[in-house]
Amino acid sequence: MQNTHILDELAGGLLDIVNFLNAPQRDEALLRAAGVQLDRALFPLLARLGMQGPLGVAELSEQVGRDYTTVSRQLARLESLGFVTRNPDIEDRRRSIAQITDEGGICFRAVREARRRALTQALADWTDDDRQSLTRLVRRFADALGELPLPENDQAG
């Protein structure tokens, strides 16, 4: 049987991390530290495209937890800034594929470097083994969460 106290501690720690990562002031500070002028609401889209490469709009909206219409509108703003291009999918012309541009890549890399500096500071007194263990375990946990089946939505009634 699982130790529920440990699971509650894990959930509490994860909520603290999510709150930290989702804090608008943190995103704004990270963008400032990177020297990037970008609406913070657009940053998660640019970050996903920078980390994962071209993505369909529907895929991207699912990954950032926003509806398709909002993501499409935000991608149009990124496109107008020259950070993203959208093109029809070669295999399915109804689908649109978003891809980061060279200029968008410069911004993404600047923010990534600012994030690395912040993480380096947060982990400064950790040993190399601790940092490696954390990285391995977080990746393992994220992969396990990704393999969980989606809850069934029972709409019978």
pTM (predicted TM-score): 0.77
Average model confidence (pLDDT) across the chain: 89
More confident residue, 100 or 19: 100
Give me the phi and psi of 92, to 5 degrees please: -145, 100
Q: Both tokens of residue 51?
A: 């980390």
Q: Please give the pLDDT value at position 82.
A: 96
Instruction: Flag the least confident range among 57-61, 86-90, 107-111, 136-140.
Output: 86-90
Q: What is the CA radius of gyration of the chain?
A: 18
Q: What is the dihedral of CA 151, 20, 106, 128, to 10 degrees?
A: -100
- Per-residue pLDDT of 53-87, as tens digits, reads 999 998 999 888 899 999 999 999 999 999 999 98
Question: Across residues 144-155, what is the average pLDDT?
Answer: 78
Query: What is the SS3 assignment for 99?
Result: strand
